[in-house]
Structure formats: C-alpha cells, structure tokens
Chain A
C-alpha cells in the first residue's frame, strides 16, 4: 500500500502549515492568528483550485503537458474584467460590489471559454502540438488585447483599475474570500462526485462512448468547472502560468495512478505544500521579498520545456 507516501504528504502538509502560522511570530496571538489565518485560507484556496482545474483539464484534453493557464484561461479572465471596466465605465463598474464585478467577469469568461476551448478540444484531436501552440498564441492574444484596452481606457479610469486590483493584492477581501470559498467548494464537490466519470473520460472518446459516457457533455461540464476554478485563483493573485503543471507533474510522480479519486486529493496536497511551504520558507526563513509565484513559474517553465522535448523524442 501507499501508507508511506500518505504519511509523508500528511507530515509535510502539517509542517508547512505550522511553519507558516507560527515561525517569527511576535506580539498579540489573537490578531496574528486571524491575520495569518486569512492569508493562509486564501493561499490554500488558490492552491486547491489551481491543482484541481489542471487535473480536470488534463483529463479532457488527454494530455499531461496542457494546463488551463498555458491555454490562456487566466489571461481570458483578466481580459473579461478589463472589458467590464471598458464597457461599463470605471465609475459604474467599480461602484458595484466586488462580488458582482467578479460574477460579471466570470459569466463572460465561462461563455467565451466554452465557445473557444470547447470547439478546440472537440475537433482538434489529431494534432496536439498545434492545439498547444494555438493555446499559447491565444494567451498572448488575450494579454495584448488586455493591454490595448487598458491603453484605450481613459487614463483616469485606468487609474481606478490599477488601484482596485492593487488593493486586492495587499489585503484579502473578506467578502470575495468567502464567496470564492463557496464557489470553489461547490466545484470541488462536483469534481469529486464525477470522479468515476472522469476516469472513464480519460480513456478516450471511443472507450468513453462504449462505457456509456457522452464525451461531448463531459468536456462541456468539465470546462465550466475549470473556468470557475481558474477565475477564483486569478481574481486573487492574477495569472500564474506554470504552477498547475508543476504540482500535477509532481503528483503524478509521487503517486502514479489513473484514478481521479486518488489523483485529485494528492495533487491538492502537493499544491498546498508547494505554495504554503514555499511561502513560509521565503517569507519567514529567507526573509526574501521575491514573490513565490515568480520562482514557481520559472521552474515550471523549465519543466514545460523539458516535457515537450521528452515528448517529441518518443
């Protein structure tokens, strides 16, 4: 059995969380626990949503190199937020509650993601490399379009966007945190309930049909889940390019299995350990101001290159 792996993961999880919460603590514990607790909750939420969305996406794309962020999902979310400001004007868009802003962007994103990636995944099976290239270019396209729109927007309104997104970076919006937690929880629950159907979908189109599963419906359902999960993490920290790829690859290495009942929790655990543990080491031990995301993305990028090179040699 996998008792040793399980124990190791549990211990690492516990150690990273305690290190994050306690090391370097001075002063009022009540304040400290609630302050760090909120940040911890946000990081855990991000970690789980990134790992789960990546696993789900890799299952329907039947490819372990693709991730939602490589295909441009988070760039799409940022674009939708910017479009919201562009069309509604900064005043009216920013005076509505952040929760409403969030839902407007999310709704737009789900629509576009389904139209775009749904067709891409359903028709372009024969050439995975072309599909990946399309995704990378689409992500670049969304990013350029976002920066084009931010330039076209009235400079004053642009100021509003910057202030709004900056404030959210420093302090976690409690409303947004709770609503994201609920959304994320619902998605995780659905993902957990359809885990056996995911196992079947991972077998491929023909096998899935043979086993009584409708692959088209499966892809659409999974894409909606992915879009919601990505929007949760992007709303907090902005685009994270390669975190999902990194943690899910590690999860596959730690516990090689095709069963989503195992893969989903293991990937989530690895993701939490990476983010919380990494943040704890960076902030509390090394006292470095470099954002963890920058390091994770750098490592993940190199891993991505390695995986592509390995794949093309097979």
Chain B
C-alpha cells in the first residue's frame, strides 16, 4: 500500500512537471489553448500508454507463464505493424476503424503463433521462451522492413516502430482512451488471469475454461497493442520491467497488484518521455529510445539478480 501511494505521489509530481516542460512559454494569452491542444493530450497519451502497456505485459506474463515476455518484444506489436502495413498498401483509403481492426487481428494471429511455439517448449526453460520471443519479434520486424522496402514505405513504418509522443495533439490520440477502458475493465477478471498463471491443470480444476480465458486475454492484449502502435508507435520494455519490479515488492495476486502495475507503468513512460524532452532541449529524444536503453539495462539486471521473495 505504501508502494502504491508513493507511486501515485510521484505520478502527480511528474504530471505537473510534464505540463510545464515544453518549447513554448506557458505565460501568455494562449496558455489555455496550449494546455488543451498540446500539453494535456500529450500527458494523457503518455499516461494511458504506460498504464495499459504495463497491465498488458503482466497479463501476458501470466498467460505465457514466463516473466521475461511482453507484447512489444515478442511479436504482438510487430504483428500490429504488419496489419497496418497491409492496410496501408492495399486499402490506402481505409477508415481508421478498419485499420485498427485489421491491426488487432494480425496482432492476435502473431500472438497465437508465438503461443503455439512456446507450447512446444519444455516449461523448465524460462530463458528459452524469452529468447524465442525476442527472435520471433525480430523476424516479424525484419519481414515488415523487407516488405516496406519493396513498396517504398520505409520512412512511414519508422513512425510505428519508434514510439514517441511529440506528434500527439488534440484530435489525434483519442483512440487511446479505448485502450484505457479495456485495461480498466480487465481488472474485473484479474483473478481469472492469476489463476491461469498457475497452469492449465490448476485452472481447469478450479472450474475455469482455460481456453476461453486465454483467448480473451490475448484478444485484449492484441487490441491494446494495435491501438498503441497506431497512435504513438511501439514502446518497448515497459510491459516487461514494470510487472517484474512490482511483483518483487507486492507479489503476484493481480487483483491486488494491477492498479499498482498500471500506476508504475504510467510513471515509467512519463519519466522516460520527460527525460527525452529535457536531455537535448529544445529537441526531443523519442520515449521509446530512452526506454530501450533503460529497459535493456534493467532486463539484464533482472536476469542476474537473485529473486527476492514477495512479502
């Protein structure tokens, strides 16, 4: 509980800072407009992304039963990029809704394939699952790059591959609220995800349909990943680092920890974005680049640090 409150306080402080940091001065007559059109939407987009990606990461870790996976590195995000690319090439005039739908479907297919591969691996090798996931995501990304090269869209896909928030304005990010709502609703079935995390036999023993929860969880993760990739691009490692750190302090009961995970995720992305804005002011470094550096470093630490048992 103290952990949660601490995270909330940090979140509020960072949010205020985020509203105050920017190239334009906040003092003039346009201050309100500036806030409403640029600063607030950006803040909301960042908070929603961090919140929902961290939650999706923890749910995916439960579904796959592995601590070292998250949607943006094991193929779900890349699958969404495949979908967006396909729509852009074949129905360039498609409405945003159709784009989102196709991206969610391809993301779901990509995650199902990943799951099928993982199911063939013995459960005694957690590192292998993570390795396979990373390489699988890498191959999908290479495929996207190859295809985009053929149809001359290489610059275009860079927008989805490297997530950043500088393009977020009023009217351009509202789809993300769907992701926020979906993730908030996942809280209602959080205990079912925790049960699935105990394995197939335990799940069926406790009277749950393993398949149903699995499909529901993956569909949710795919939808949220597709929404994120379409609106701001891929944001790596949040879904991996945050649930791991929270579970070190607060355990694995998702009903209890999901709000904390979401809150810490929002703090993480917000901090990365702020860092990216400050480090080379007035230019910007994408949040995904900052998170790529910090996340990879933390990942290696997680690999070699002995486990602390949850209290």
Q: Which of B68, B120, B296 contacts A144 (CB 8 A)?
A: B296
Band of interface residues on A: 20 to 34
Q: Which of B149, B283, B300 contacts A137 (CB 8 A)?
A: B300
| Residue pair A297, B142 in contact (C-beta under 8 Å) | yes
Q: Which residues of B contact A312 (CB under 8 A)?
A: 121-122, 125, 128
| Residue pair B280, A152 in contact (C-beta under 8 Å) | yes
Q: Once bound together, how far apart are the Cα atoms of A130 and B134, in whole Å?
A: 13
Q: Which residues of A contact B135 (CB under 8 A)?
A: 136, 301, 304-305, 308
A144: nearest chain-B partner, CB-CB: B292
Interface string of A135-168 (1 = CB under 8 A from B): 0111011011101100110010000000000000
Q: Once bound together, how far apart are the Cα atoms of A276 and B134, in whole Å?
A: 30
Chain B nearest CB from A144 CB (Å) reads 3
Q: Which of B127, B146, B290, B296 contacts A130 (CB 8 A)?
A: B127
Q: Which residues of A contact B121 (CB under 8 A)?
A: 309, 312
| Residue pair B117, A309 in contact (C-beta under 8 Å) | yes
Q: Once bound together, how far apart are the Cα atoms of A309 and B122, in whole Å?
A: 10
B143, CB-defined interface residue at 8 Å: yes
Q: Once bound together, how far apart are the Cα atoms of A141 and B297, in whole Å?
A: 7
| Residue pair A290, B149 in contact (C-beta under 8 Å) | yes
A169, CB-defined interface residue at 8 Å: no
Main secondary structure on B side of the interface with A: helix
Band of interface residues on B: 35 or more
Q: Which residues of A contact B289 (CB under 8 A)?
A: 144, 147-148, 151
Given A144-B293, A151-B283, A290-B150: A138 touches B131 (CB 8 Å cut-off):
no
Main secondary structure on A side of the interface with B: helix
| Residue pair A294, B127 in contact (C-beta under 8 Å) | no
| Residue pair A129, B139 in contact (C-beta under 8 Å) | no
| Residue pair B136, A305 in contact (C-beta under 8 Å) | yes
Give the tally of cross-chain contacts (CB within 8 A): 97
A103, CB-defined interface residue at 8 Å: no
The B62-88 residues at the A interface (CB cut-off 8 A) are 68
B251, CB-defined interface residue at 8 Å: no
Interface string of A281-314 (1 = CB under 8 A from B): 0000000001000110110011011001100110
Most buried by B among A138, A290, A305, A312: A312
Interface string of B258-288 (1 = CB under 8 A from A): 0000000000000000000001100101100
Given A130-B303, A151-B283: A294 touches B142 (CB 8 Å cut-off):
yes
Interface string of B109-136 (1 = CB under 8 A from A): 0000000010011100101101110111
Q: Which residues of B contact A155 (CB under 8 A)?
A: 283
Q: Which residues of A contact B303 (CB under 8 A)?
A: 130, 133-134, 137
Q: Once bound together, how far apart are the Cα atoms of A142 and B136, in whole Å?
A: 20
B145, CB-defined interface residue at 8 Å: yes
Q: Which residues of A contact B22 (CB under 8 A)?
A: none
| Residue pair A301, B125 in contact (C-beta under 8 Å) | no
Could you name 7 residue pairs across A and B whose Cβ atoms are closer than 8 Å? A129-B128, A133-B68, A143-B292, A148-B290, A148-B292, A298-B143, A305-B136
Q: Which residues of B contact A (CB under 8 A)?
A: 68, 117, 120-122, 125, 127-128, 130-132, 134-136, 138-139, 142-143, 145-146, 149-150, 279-280, 283, 285-286, 289-290, 292-293, 296-297, 299-300, 303-304
What are the 7 closest A-B residue pairs judged by CB atoms, nearest first?
A: A144-B292, A141-B296, A129-B127, A301-B139, A151-B285, A144-B293, A133-B127
Since A141-B292, A148-B290 are in contact, a sample of 17 more A-B pairs with Cβ atoms closer than 8 Å, ordered by chain A residue number, is A130-B127, A132-B131, A133-B130, A133-B303, A134-B300, A134-B303, A137-B134, A137-B296, A137-B299, A151-B283, A151-B286, A152-B279, A297-B142, A301-B135, A302-B139, A308-B132, A313-B122
